[in-house]
Structures are given as C-alpha cells and as structure tokens.
C-alpha cells in the first residue's frame, strides 16, 4: 500500500523534535522503504520519532494490532524523507 496522511497523527513536540503515531495496514518493511513518507516532506523533520502500528481490518476500525515499530526520521532533504529500519515493539498476548 502507500502512505496515507489520515494514518499519521502528531502526538506531541518539544526539544526540537516531534512524536507521531502512524497506523497502517502496511508492514514495517514497507513503511521504512525509500520514498514512503515523501508526501510528508513538509513537516517530518530529522530526529522525529514515528510510532508505527500495523493493524488488521481497516485503519479507521482495526480488528487487530499485528505489529508495532519505533522509527526515526534519518533525513529530509526537502524532496525525500528517509526513516530508520525501526525497532520492533512486542505486541504478543500470552494468555
């Protein structure tokens, strides 16, 4: 799939960086691909943190959370945004 602005929400800012929450049906491997966030080039800054949540169902009404990843914006040259590969967040349920 492709980046969806509706899935990206700014959660807070301070100290020169922002924290975003991004909900998508896409895997972390897709989200951290080159050019994925290029449509957000005007507001994603180097050092911003993106908490990516992969869901099942739909973004508006998810039926499950399948994965989570912390990603940092590594570069933004005004045309292209690149994010880190990410650090996985465990979302398993042991019961």
Task: Give the model's pLDDT for residue 66.
Answer: 92
Report the 3 state secondary structure along 8-73: EEEEEEECCEEEEEEEECCCHHHHCCCCCCHHHCCCCCCCCEEEEEEEEECCCCEEEEEEEEEEEE
Answer for the pair 47, 83: CB distance below 8 angstroms, yes or no.
no
- The whole model's pTM is what? 0.93
Domain boundaries, the chain: 7-89
| pLDDT > 90 fraction of the chain, expressed in percent and rounded | 87
- Average pLDDT of the residues in 68-92: 95
pLDDT tens, position by position, 1-17: 689 999 999 999 999 99
């Amino acid at each position: 799939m492709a980046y969806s602005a509706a899935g990206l929400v700014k959660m807070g800012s301070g100290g020169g960086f922002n924290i975003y929450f991004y909900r998508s049906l896409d895997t972390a491997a897709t989200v951290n691909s080159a050019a994925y966030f290029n449509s957000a080039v005007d507001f994603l800054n180097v050092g911003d943190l993106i908490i990516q949540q992969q869901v099942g169902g739909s973004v508006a009404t998810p039926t499950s959370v399948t994965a989570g990843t912390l990603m940092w914006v590594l570069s933004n040259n005004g045309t292209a945004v690149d994010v880190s590969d990410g650090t996985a967040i465990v979302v398993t349920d042991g019961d």
